Structure 1
């Protein structure tokens, strides 16, 4: 026991610990940026959800034959509808644009037979 008292314990100095922490923080920062870029560049669940919702909205508009409104906010996604007449009478071009926080997420385009709101099949 007397021999252990005279031994000097080896350890890290405060400077060494701080340098190691700075290196770890830099590595984690770079890793988070890479991870964020990978997530943003791939097909996300939100983009798939938007595509499915635009298809469903287009189907409902085709069934009705007219628009009830030009804009719709659904699940924090802003959908804008635009009809453009074609050369063929009764046929219109429908364009649906989806945006999340003013960032364009998707566009859906299709042709449909247009009706007046009070017109039945």
Structure 2
């Protein structure tokens, strides 16, 4: 029994455990930053949805020749429509920009032919 009590058990000291924890936290923090950057720069479903919605709005304006409103809100995304200066072929340019909570999600510029609808 005496031999068991005097025998030293091998283990980690408190300092070694703390150093290991600090290393794990640093590696985890770096991994989270890399993951966050990848998620922000990647093509997201929301960006694809916004692009498709802007193209649908532009198509509707081309077909009708009328800008429905200056600002449309669809699914909490604000689409601002502006008729800009004449473009390359002397046609007016439609500019659509999408924002959500102050963050710009995208913009689309295209030419429209309003003269065709004004003559009818």
TM range (shorter): 0.7 to 0.9
Who is 2:104 aligned against?
Answer: 104
SS in 2 for 1:94: strand
Q: How does 1:65-80 map to 2 (within 5 A)?
A: 65-80=65-80
Who is 2:92 aligned against?
Answer: 92
Gaps of 5+ in 1: none
Deviates more, 1:23-32 or 1:72-81: 72-81
Who is 1:16 aligned against?
Answer: 16
User: How many residues get paired?
Assistant: 115
Who is 1:49 aligned against?
Answer: 49
SS in 1 for 2:104: strand
- Over 6 Å off, 4+ runs: none
SS in 2 for 1:99: strand
Q: TM-score, normalised by structure 2?
A: 0.77
Deviations 1:40-64 (A, max 9, x none): 2222222211111111111122233
Who is 2:31 aligned against?
Answer: 31
Provide the alpha-carbon RMSD of the alignment: 2.5
Q: Which of the pair is proportionally richer in helix?
A: 2
